[in-house]
Amino acid sequence: MFYREAGQYKTSYAKDLQAFPIKQDKIGMFIWGILAVVVAVIGIPGLGYDFAMKAIIIPTLIFTITALGLNILVGFAGQISLGTGAFMGVGAYACLKLTTFFPDVNILIHFVLSGFVAAVIGMFFGLPSLRIKGFYLVVATLGAQFFLEWAFGRIPWLYNFADSGAIEVPTRTLFGVPITGASADVTWQYFIVLFFLAGMTWIASNLIRGRIGRSWMMIRDMDIAAELIGVRPLWTKLSAFAVSSFYCGVSGALMVFIWLGAAEVESFDINHSFLYLFMVIIGGLGSITGSFMGAAFIWIFPILLKEVGKSFGYNATLMENISLVAIGVMIVIILIKEPHGLARLWQISKQKLRLWPFPH
């Protein structure tokens, strides 16, 4: 980048283990934090504020949480899952039931609790991973996806016997400001999502640096060898499923309560599961930064494409199909050129810039 870490010595182990060991990186993160707040307060010039928030920023942040969760499972623990959409659904339905039973408890607490519900369900469907792996596990998680999807549609208790068969989000407030439901305040919603994202990123990055994360990666790289040197596969795999499903559950609850406002089974279907998997692949398997980049890319790219198409006068369906093709092509290209995704590209370009103008 524009800066070097020259002269910044690490004199203790604690310093060596820091998340951001370079001073400029710390400043950079600080600037990002300020920027995130400023954006919300003064708005984004040139774009409709509500549109930008509702259609781009809030969903991107929510999907980043999903991508983080899925990345923990696929990228760090090496267990492929195609049931992400359904696990998000578990979070959303759990949150609906919780807030129906305990309307006085703060909704933020329900978001976290519904993450735990999703974690329990995720662990249950992760049980087969102890015996099987790879493509067989894909089939097992697809089983979870279809079974849960069916349950969401067929068990009326889950959606409070609503006539529409959909989740209807009640209005809940925080400090007197409505944050869910029709009259919700967008800025507050943004801050809540940002708060969750920041907190969960922090937890994820520390989990991965720590003992659990290392044992995940050992299982991913070679499970038999990991078992031989004392990593317990049962505990490791299930914890990966639990943590991942927790992230998906929270993001699912946020997605329905903060962003969508109402959701049917289709919001959790298999196509969404694919989309989340793509976020992780394009962003970079086994990378926290990658989850951010992947989620942003997969979410924003089709919107941009659609807007561009609109300005050229193409109709919306055509642009949608073109964006599907573009995403597919993109995935193939990224897999061929850089299987480690955007995060790796980012790292390489940083490395190149550091050395510039010298070739070595």
Partner 1 sequence: MELLYGIFIDPWIQMVSLPDFFVQVLWEGFVSGVLYSLIALGFVLIFKASGVFNFAQGIMVVFAALAMVGIYELGVPGWLSVIIALGIMYALAFSVERFVMRPLVGQDDIILFMATIGLTFILIGGGQAIFGGEPKAMLTSEIGLPSGDYVWEMGGGIVIFQKLDIAATVIAGALIAGLAFFFSYTKIGRALRAVADDHQAAVSVGIGLNQIWVVVWFAAGIVALVTGIMWGAKSDVSFALQIVALKALPVLVLGGFTSIPGAIVGGLIIGIGEKVFEIYWGGLMGGGVESWFAFIIALIFLLFRPQGLFGDKIIERV
Q: Which residues bind partner 1 (CB under 8 A)?
A: 80, 128, 131-132, 134-136, 138-140, 142-143, 146-147, 149-150, 153-155, 222, 224-225, 228, 270, 274, 277-278, 281, 317-318, 320-332, 335-336, 339
**Cβ 139 to partner 1, closest distance in Å?**
5
Q: Smaller CB distance to partner 1: residue 64 or 149?
A: 149
8 Å CB contact between 71 and 286: yes
Q: Smaller CB distance to partner 1: residue 146 or 191?
A: 146
Q: Smaller CB distance to partner 1: residue 25 or 338?
A: 338
**Cβ 326 to partner 1, closest distance in Å?**
8
DSSP 181: S
The token duo for 71 is: 């990345």
CA separation for the pair 319, 1 (Å, rounded): 36
Write down the residue that tokens 């991508």 correspond to: 67
Please list the alpha-helical segments (H only) found in the chain. 13-16, 23-42, 49-51, 58-71, 84-101, 107-126, 135-154, 186-209, 211-221, 223-228, 233-254, 270-283, 288-312, 316-337, 341-355
Q: Smaller CB distance to partner 1: residue 254 or 282?
A: 282
**Cβ 224 to partner 1, closest distance in Å?**
5
Q: Smaller CB distance to partner 1: residue 109 or 225?
A: 225
The token duo for 173 is: 């407030």
Q: Smaller CB distance to partner 1: residue 27 or 132?
A: 132
**Cβ 172 to partner 1, closest distance in Å?**
30
What are the contacts of 163-171 at 24+ separation with CB within 8 A? 164/262, 164/264, 165/264, 165/265, 166/262, 166/263, 166/264, 167/92, 167/93, 167/96, 167/256, 167/262, 167/263, 167/264, 168/262, 169/96, 169/256, 169/257, 169/260, 169/261, 169/262, 170/99, 170/100, 170/103
Q: Smaller CB distance to partner 1: residue 196 or 268?
A: 268
8 Å CB contact between 179 and 107: yes
Say whether 174 sits in a helix, a strand or coil. Answer: strand
**Cβ 189 to partner 1, closest distance in Å?**
30
**Cβ 140 to partner 1, closest distance in Å?**
5
**Cβ 339 to partner 1, closest distance in Å?**
5
**Cβ 161 to partner 1, closest distance in Å?**
14
CA separation for the pair 125, 56 (Å, rounded): 32
Q: Smaller CB distance to partner 1: residue 14 or 336?
A: 336
